[in-house]
Chain A
Amino acid sequence: MTSTRTRRRRFSLAVLLVPFAAACALSACSGAFETALAAETDVCTVQVIVRHAAEPDGALLADLERANALTLEPVGVITRDLRVYKLRAAGTNDDCIAAIYRLRRDDRVRSVDLDARRGIHDQS
């Protein structure tokens, strides 16, 4: 059964999508549409690259997770203290961004960046 709140949300979504769809039709940015749809959730996941102040171990990761209200699933090792994780936090995209802020401010972490996608510089 669909709640009134959900119906309202869908209505406001539709109102927002009208100019978005029009703009997309003009500028061919269809790829953005799916990204936006994925925002309606309660657990967000983002792959990040973390520079630790020192080589991390299981205990340190567990403490970072507890102190910053997030989870860090190891994905890869770049160097001794530069690691790739899937960062998860309760809530929406904004909550993941907030979690990244918290992690950045932790003294045991030197930097946190999104694992960004790069594209070729081909204009042909």
Chain B
Amino acid sequence: MRTAEQTQLHLCTLLVALAATVFATVASADELDASRKHPSPLADFGAEPRIIVKLRSGDTARVRAQPARDRVQSAASRSGMKPKRIAPLGARLHVVDIELEGAGEPIEQTLKRLKADSEVEYAELDRRRYLHAVPDDSLYAGQWYLQGRTVAPSAIDAERAWDITTGSDGVVVAFLDTGALYDHPDLQSAGVGGRLLPGYDFISSAVAANDGDGRDADATDPGDWISPGDRQTSAFSGCSTTSSSWHGTRVAAIIGARTSNATGVAGVTWQPWLLPIRVIGKCGGLDSDILPAMLWAAGIHVDGVPDNPYPAKILNMSFGSEDSCEPAYEDVIEEITAHGTVVVASAGNEGGPVDSPANCAGVVAVSGLRHAGTKVGYSSLGPEVTVSAPAGNCVNTSGACLFSIVTATNEGTTTPTVHSYTNQLNYNVGTSFSAPIVAGIAALMASANGNLNAPRLIERLREGAVKPFPVSTDSTVPQCHVPLASGDVQNAECNCTTATCGAGMANAAGALEAALRPIAAVTISGAFTLGSTVTLSGLQSTAVEGRNVVAYRWSLQCGSGTFTAADPAAAVVDVPANDSFTLRLAVTDDAGRTDRADVIVTPTGATTVPGTASSDGCASIGVSVSPTSTSVLPNSTRTFTATVTNAADQTVTWQVDGVVGGNSIRGTITATGEYTSPASVPTPAVVTVTAVSNQDPSRSGSASVTIMAVQLPQQVTTSGGGGGAADFAGLLSLLLALSCRSLVRRRAT
């Protein structure tokens, strides 16, 4: 354990070292960030650019008679260009070296005229292309999951993303885990030029922490092994014998190993800081340690712990258990999301419903893909999943594991010994490793666009995902289905759907392209009274750093209403007497990227909703219910929330299995969404809670509720005598059904 003085000294030393490192990083940023080395396309040729022109196919006698070269010459001249050299690239495709005639006219203007010429199919500047940013780490070739989709369909295209950014050192990624090995050569402490910030150890139990004390400021992983002797003690009697996992180190190196250092592996990110927070010790971790650690990671004060000087933008949690999302998690996640932190969590390895906390609303839940893009057998799945990512699969049932997720680890079976890396024999698979891949992508997004709040970052992560999911060439592979209950296990490969594996396959390049788009935002001013006007302004819209919003366009999307565009960024709207209408703001930045926001104007007010990239015309009303699935005991309550989008009237009517308000057999639900389960388990045990839009009763959202007979009191301890065999009867089936299942592991193929 460190003393307070040692901690302060360490922090001071670290701050000095950080300052030096930040200075050095800023100084060397141009070398590290490949995108900054790319000059403007015009810089390639100066005042004599080169253009590639394709002519339209000629079907008239005149056109057929005229040589293509002459047709290019004529079109170029008509556009104000003076061709110096015309060389054929194909029958109708030519490259033209030009001299600009219009003094001072931008090439884009001249090119625009050429493109508009009736003889020209297309014309583009001849652009210089650059090698993708490929790291020189010695094991990079084996990191198939970072490479292009030609290497493996589920690979995340990191090289194209790194052309845009390798991340910013202004972003901190926290990982709640077993801690980290600070002296692993591919991680190392930030104080000596590495990636790891000091972090914190939140494990209260000294025996579980395995470092001689409870909470302290040292996030080093001392090992989490369980020996046969440990299992004789009350603390670990229910645990399995296991070697140390070095799980936190494996997760950390996936998010951000030191990259392009000619050693080991590359991380998804190259620059952001990594913040290790210990919550998992011997035999797992408790919610009572995890929840305050989540708050601390986000920079929120926790009693008894010094405040976190490095609040995290991204928080990775590669753990969980089969459970509904507990209210305590809901509260904490809501709080840290509002604080700006994005929570990423792994779906689980049971092949069943998504574990808690990944199944909580607002969390980026990540399920696991095989290299081919189908769901890997062990991965849990369901509607709570945000996106999927490679989790590692072996293909072979023995021998080398072909698609392991290569990462840093240690050879020690108890305490750390030799630092090393996983490989095809000492392989590394699990949704534990798909989550940090996505956490890394999220960190790249936050680096590229600091204006993205948590919900918008998640929305654009989905937008950038590759879709549709690939379908196995093996026709016997079934389509994945939404698990109906915890016992509904799909532990073999299946073809993903958006209902089971999220919006698509996480893709770093696609996510960054989405992140770079501007953010359309509308502010509303004025009083909503009949006959009055209100002003909608788009001036709060933002572009990424270095770009500006240059165009605002207002249009009536839905319904009938009147407005005038007062200035480019504002619209003055007549308050409607009866019906509502939807106005859309589309913004464009100086790179040509766009975003849009819809404003629903009613007689009494206006609400803004992000315009979806694909939607045109009237956006239809959407209703979603959170949580989307849960389990409850008989005669207990669970509160659901309904979110209504694209509607002026946001109220809903609640039903249970189609009955408004429910009944005593299937459970009841109040007008505010509080569901009370029936006194005994109904048949079937799964009921559907539905929220129906009051504005449009044809629109609704649903959640499934499983009513369970008994809750497993996993950590109930007892003292004294008495009790009876009856307690056993209830426990036996549950223990067999639940406790054992997670202990039986299959090799992922």
Residues of A within 8 A of B (CB): 9, 12-13, 16-17, 19-20, 23-24, 27-29, 31-32, 34-36, 38-47, 49, 51, 75-79, 82, 84, 91-94, 96-97, 101, 104, 110-111, 113-124
Residues on A with beta carbons closer than 8 Å to the beta carbon of B392: 123-124
Give A93 to B730 CA distance when docked, in angstroms: 10
Residues on B with beta carbons closer than 8 Å to the beta carbon of A24: 740
22 contacts between A and B (CB under 8 A): A13-B725, A23-B736, A27-B743, A28-B740, A31-B237, A35-B735, A39-B728, A45-B717, A45-B719, A76-B204, A84-B288, A92-B718, A92-B723, A93-B716, A97-B710, A101-B636, A118-B287, A119-B320, A120-B245, A121-B430, A123-B429, A123-B745
Residues of B within 8 A of A (CB): 177-178, 204, 231, 237-240, 245, 247, 250, 280, 283-288, 290-292, 295, 302-304, 318-321, 323, 326-328, 331-332, 335, 346-349, 355-357, 378, 391-392, 422, 427-432, 435, 633, 635-637, 710-711, 713-725, 727-732, 735-736, 739-740, 742-745, 748
Residues on A with beta carbons closer than 8 Å to the beta carbon of B302: 78
Name B291's closest neighbour in chain A (CB-CB): A78
Residues on A with beta carbons closer than 8 Å to the beta carbon of B720: 41-43
Complex A-B, nearest 5 residue pairs according to Cβ-Cβ distance, in ascending order: A41-B718, A29-B740, A111-B327, A42-B722, A123-B430
With A93-B713, A124-B427 given, is the CB distance from A31 to B327 under 8 Å? no
Residues on A with beta carbons closer than 8 Å to the beta carbon of B247: 120, 122
With A94-B730, A111-B328 given, is the CB distance from A117 to B320 under 8 Å? no
Are B727 and A93 in contact (CB-based, < 8 A)? Answer: yes
Residues on A with beta carbons closer than 8 Å to the beta carbon of B431: 121, 123
Are B288 and A49 in contact (CB-based, < 8 A)? Answer: yes
Q: Which of A19, A31, A113 has the most chain B CB atoms closer than 10 A to its own CB?
A: A31
Are B328 and A78 in contact (CB-based, < 8 A)? Answer: yes
Residues on B with beta carbons closer than 8 Å to the beta carbon of A23: 736, 740
Are A38 and B736 in contact (CB-based, < 8 A)? Answer: no
Give A41 to B326 CA distance when docked, in angstroms: 28
Residues on A with beta carbons closer than 8 Å to the beta carbon of B636: 101, 104
Least CB distance from B113 to A in Å reads 58
Residues on B with beta carbons closer than 8 Å to the beta carbon of A121: 318-320, 346-349, 355, 430-432, 435
Residues on B with beta carbons closer than 8 Å to the beta carbon of A42: 718, 720-723
Residues on A with beta carbons closer than 8 Å to the beta carbon of B748: 123
Least CB distance from B479 to A in Å reads 23
Least CB distance from A12 to B in Å reads 4
Are A32 and B735 in contact (CB-based, < 8 A)? Answer: yes
Residues on A with beta carbons closer than 8 Å to the beta carbon of B742: 119
Give A12 to B723 CA distance when docked, in angstroms: 13
With A36-B735, A49-B326, A82-B331 given, is the CB distance from A120 to B318 under 8 Å? yes
Residues on B with beta carbons closer than 8 Å to the beta carbon of A44: 713, 716-718
Q: Which of B287, B725, B731, B735 contacts A113 (CB 8 A)?
A: B287
Are B744 and A28 in contact (CB-based, < 8 A)? Answer: yes
Residues on A with beta carbons closer than 8 Å to the beta carbon of B319: 118-121
Residues on A with beta carbons closer than 8 Å to the beta carbon of B348: 121
What does DSSP make chain A's interface, helix, strand, loop or mixed?
A: mixed
Q: Which of B286, B428, B727, B744 contacts A116 (CB 8 A)?
A: B286
Name A31's closest neighbour in chain B (CB-CB): B238
With A78-B292, A116-B287, A124-B428 given, is the CB distance from A46 to B327 under 8 Å? no
Name B232's closest neighbour in chain A (CB-CB): A34
Residues on B with beta carbons closer than 8 Å to the beta carbon of A43: 718-720
Are B731 and A36 in contact (CB-based, < 8 A)? Answer: yes
Give A113 to B204 CA distance when docked, in angstroms: 18
Name A40's closest neighbour in chain B (CB-CB): B723
Give A116 to B292 CA distance when docked, in angstroms: 14
Are A117 and B283 in contact (CB-based, < 8 A)? Answer: yes
Give A57 to B722 CA distance when docked, in angstroms: 34
Are A16 and B432 in contact (CB-based, < 8 A)? Answer: no
Are A117 and B285 in contact (CB-based, < 8 A)? Answer: yes
Are A118 and B736 in contact (CB-based, < 8 A)? Answer: no
Are B718 and A27 in contact (CB-based, < 8 A)? Answer: no
Give A110 to B637 CA distance when docked, in angstroms: 10
Are B430 and A27 in contact (CB-based, < 8 A)? Answer: no
Give A49 to B283 CA distance when docked, in angstroms: 20
Q: Which of B284, B327, B431, B727 has the most chain A CB atoms closer than 10 A to its own CB?
A: B727
Are B721 and A40 in contact (CB-based, < 8 A)? Answer: yes
Residues on B with beta carbons closer than 8 Å to the beta carbon of A82: 291, 328, 331-332
Are B736 and A29 in contact (CB-based, < 8 A)? Answer: yes
Are B331 and A51 in contact (CB-based, < 8 A)? Answer: yes
Are A34 and B238 in contact (CB-based, < 8 A)? Answer: yes
Are A27 and B744 in contact (CB-based, < 8 A)? Answer: yes
Beyond A46-B713, A113-B287, A118-B319, 12 additional contacts (C-beta under 8 Å) are: A31-B239, A38-B717, A39-B716, A39-B727, A46-B715, A79-B332, A97-B711, A116-B287, A117-B286, A121-B318, A123-B349, A124-B392
Residues on A with beta carbons closer than 8 Å to the beta carbon of B304: 77
Give A91 to B720 CA distance when docked, in angstroms: 10
Least CB distance from A2 to B in Å reads 12
Are A41 and B287 in contact (CB-based, < 8 A)? Answer: no
Give A8 to B717 CA distance when docked, in angstroms: 24
Are B332 and A78 in contact (CB-based, < 8 A)? Answer: yes
With A32-B739, A78-B288 given, is the CB distance from A117 to B732 under 8 Å? no
Name A36's closest neighbour in chain B (CB-CB): B731
With A45-B716, A123-B748 given, is the CB distance from A32 to B727 under 8 Å? no
Q: Which of B240, B285, B326, B710 contacts A31 (CB 8 A)?
A: B240
Residues on A with beta carbons closer than 8 Å to the beta carbon of B378: 123
